[in-house]
Amino acid sequence: MKKDKNSRRFFIKALGVGIGTACLGMWRSMVNVQQKNTGEKTISISLNDNREVIFHEDCIIINNAQPLVFSSYCTHLGCRIQNFENGQLICPCHGSVFDLNGNPQKGPSIKPLRELEFTLNPETKTIIVNV
């Protein structure tokens, strides 16, 4: 009887530790998504490339006469957008579609992509972005 009680206690403790560890892991992954969206990092990107859209780390650069820079993290649930098809940016997770001004064209996302400030060096055609 006593052995049965101890094994039940052990099982409940092990279950509690397992659930706690799983919750901690989920919380850490959620915090990582937030940090990716708001972290402070400066990156330098060359525009000496004829591609209309450049995906670089956490940024999407719209490489036209008036360049634009967006965070590459989808405004729905934070998946990283790295797909450009038929003039549109497409999120791989749930299919949100954004135009090249960052505006949602198809949901589930209803918010525009986060525009990032940058400085352009016209001589080197390089932009510096604070991500």
Containing H/E element for 25? Answer: helix 2-38
**By CB under 6 A, what part of segment 71-90 binds ligand FES?**
74, 76-77, 79
108 binding ligand FES? (CB under 6 A): yes
Q: Which two tokens stand for residue 92?
A: 């791989």
Binding residue for ligand FES (CB under 6 A) from 70, 109, 118, 129? 109
DSSP 114: P
Binding residue for ligand FES (CB under 6 A) from 93, 100, 120, 128? 93
Q: Which two tokens stand for residue 74?
A: 């989808």
Query: Which residues lie below 8 Å from residue 44, measured CB to CB, with a gap of 6+?
Result: 126, 127, 128, 129
112 binding ligand FES? (CB under 6 A): no
Binding residue for ligand FES (CB under 6 A) from 45, 62, 69, 91? 91
* CA atoms of 65 and 46, how far apart (whole Å): 14
Interface positions with ligand FES (CB under 6 A): 74, 76-77, 79, 91, 93-96, 108-109
